[in-house]
Amino acid sequence: MTAVSNEKIPNNVGLSNDKQLQRALEKWLPNYLDWWKQMGPEGFQGQDVFLRTAISVDRDGWANFDYVKMPDYRWGIFLTDAEPGRKVGFGDHAKEDAWQQVPGEYRNVLRRIIVTQGDTEPASVEQQRYLGQSAPSLYDMRNLFQVNVEEGRHLWAMVYLLHSYFGRDGREEAEELLARRSGDPDKPRILGAFNAPMTDWLQFFMFTTFTDRDGKYQLLSLAESGFDPLARTCQFMLTEEAHHMFVGETGIGRILERTCELLKTAPNEDVTKLGGVPIDMIQRSLNYWFTLSLDLFGGEISSNAATYFAAGLKGRAYETRRKDDHVLMDLSYDVPVVRDGKLTHETTSMRNALNEVLRTDYIEDNQKAVDRWNKVLEEAGRPERLKLPHRRFSRAIGEYSSHRFDPEGNLISDSEWNANKDRWLVNDADRAYIQSIQVQVTEPGKMANWIAPPHTGIKGRPVEFEYVRL
């Protein structure tokens, strides 16, 4: 395994052998730090946080924990080791040698893929920047900051590719990645979910469950890329993404545990009387973030998806494990569509339907998380169950965005939609209520009233450990 060097920019890509690239990145570093200090976690830049840092990309080097002030985090460039003789695994170039340089004909497409992925990373840090102030415990605060620094590092990963392989255009794109702002009407982030308001921890846990899992699936498909440096970058990012989804899934699980506990004594089963989070409010937040995240996969019938696949730039998740020809030339795919006000089917080529293929894998993976949440309800003897809404529900991108559907996927009228949307999606009253109960708790081991403690601490430390020194 390649060790990570201890330079100004820690890396395992031999950065010191490429002086021009090193200089370019060292020039970008202070701009990045300015962005971090301005848009990163508000009010906690000087605190010691118990963080995981990479000192090498293998398992042992990865599990390295210590107190760090966030601006001193080892942002760096980590790629999984090269696989000698690697071939393009799919598309029109299948079985040719994987590219170590950008193929000229795909330069623009590839840059767009990298910029779009890169843009999500700082966006989520911006979305989450005030949450430390309402953290339910030091344990949760630390997890939030861990997610934040890793998203910052993911930005580094994409900026490394832009600087290394795209020359001046790449450097300009890297500056733009620091210039856009989540939710800013004039200079928004590129994708919808990354401009959505993150008002509270319920939204944060849903985001890390659903939107970070979109990240997982995008990275899985890019980890298959025939452009080898992108593939290796994304493989390492996936190890970090797993933690983000852990934070989200266990966060919601702990809210459910606490809600079930409070329901035992709540008058008329109204947990708001005891400062808890009602199950229907959890469902509405789930509906909101799940559907926003579905949009991130793009249109159901997409010539872009076909192009990316044909070019060997973006595969399917787990492409190499699949038992087909990886070319998908004469296959077709049935997509439900609305024509003349009715739901019907349209047949498209498999390549045009690859967004839908990835989205389907993603939905199945989410269902497992929801099943685990429902276990909490079941074990507490509650009759309620959480449910993923239908993929057609509340969409802003693709075939279903110009029609209204209920959470079961039935086509409905605008008036039906308007009459029910506050019942289906997290609404202003929900957000105001959650904000009213979310007070910062900073005593080690203590939890806010609305969430149960975690089952274990971090890296063998007890839950009572001082994860952030305030």
Binding interface with Fe ion (CB under 5 A): 121, 151, 154, 212, 215, 241, 244
Residue (244 or 258) nearer to Fe ion, CB: 244
Looking at residue 132, its amino acid is: G
Residue (55 or 125) nearer to Fe ion, CB: 125
CB of 109 to Fe ion, least distance (A): 21
Residue (208 or 438) nearer to Fe ion, CB: 208
CB of 213 to Fe ion, least distance (A): 9
* C-alpha to C-alpha distance for 122 and 159, rounded to whole angstroms: 11
* C-alpha to C-alpha distance for 281 and 37, rounded to whole angstroms: 33
The number of beta carbons lying within 10 Å of the beta carbon of residue 34 is 11
* C-alpha to C-alpha distance for 260 and 279, rounded to whole angstroms: 9
CB of 244 to Fe ion, least distance (A): 4
Residue (212 or 295) nearer to Fe ion, CB: 212
* C-alpha to C-alpha distance for 127 and 129, rounded to whole angstroms: 6
Across 155-180, b (16+ Cβ under 10 Å) vs e yields bbbbbbbbbbbbeeebbebbeebbeb
Residue (215 or 253) nearer to Fe ion, CB: 215
CB of 157 to Fe ion, least distance (A): 9
CB of 147 to Fe ion, least distance (A): 6
Residue (244 or 390) nearer to Fe ion, CB: 244
Residue (239 or 427) nearer to Fe ion, CB: 239
CB of 39 to Fe ion, least distance (A): 15
CB of 233 to Fe ion, least distance (A): 11
Residue (98 or 196) nearer to Fe ion, CB: 196
Distance of CA 291 to the CA centre of its chain: 14
* C-alpha to C-alpha distance for 356 and 450, rounded to whole angstroms: 37
Contacts of residue 299, defined as CB under 8 A and 6 or more positions apart, other chains included, come to 305, 355, 397, 398, 399
CB of 144 to Fe ion, least distance (A): 12
Q: What is the dihedral of CA 112, 221, 247, 375, to 10 degrees?
A: 140
Query: Strand 64-69 to strand 48-53: parallel, antiparallel, or no bridges (unpaired)?
Result: antiparallel
Backbone region of residue 461 per phi and psi (left: phi > 0; alpha: psi in -120 to 50; beta: other values): beta
Residue (143 or 352) nearer to Fe ion, CB: 143
Which is nearest to 246 in space by CA: 75, 331, 372? Answer: 372
Residue (151 or 200) nearer to Fe ion, CB: 151
Q: How long a stretch of residues is the chain?
A: 470
CB of 36 to Fe ion, least distance (A): 15
Burial of residue 65 (number of CB atoms within 10 Å: 0-12, 13-18, 19+):
middle
Q: Which residues pair with 41 in a beta bridge?
A: none
CB of 211 to Fe ion, least distance (A): 8
CB of 121 to Fe ion, least distance (A): 5
Across 255-286, b (16+ Cβ under 10 Å) vs e yields bbbbbbebbeebeeeebeebbbbbbebbbbbb
Residue (123 or 263) nearer to Fe ion, CB: 123
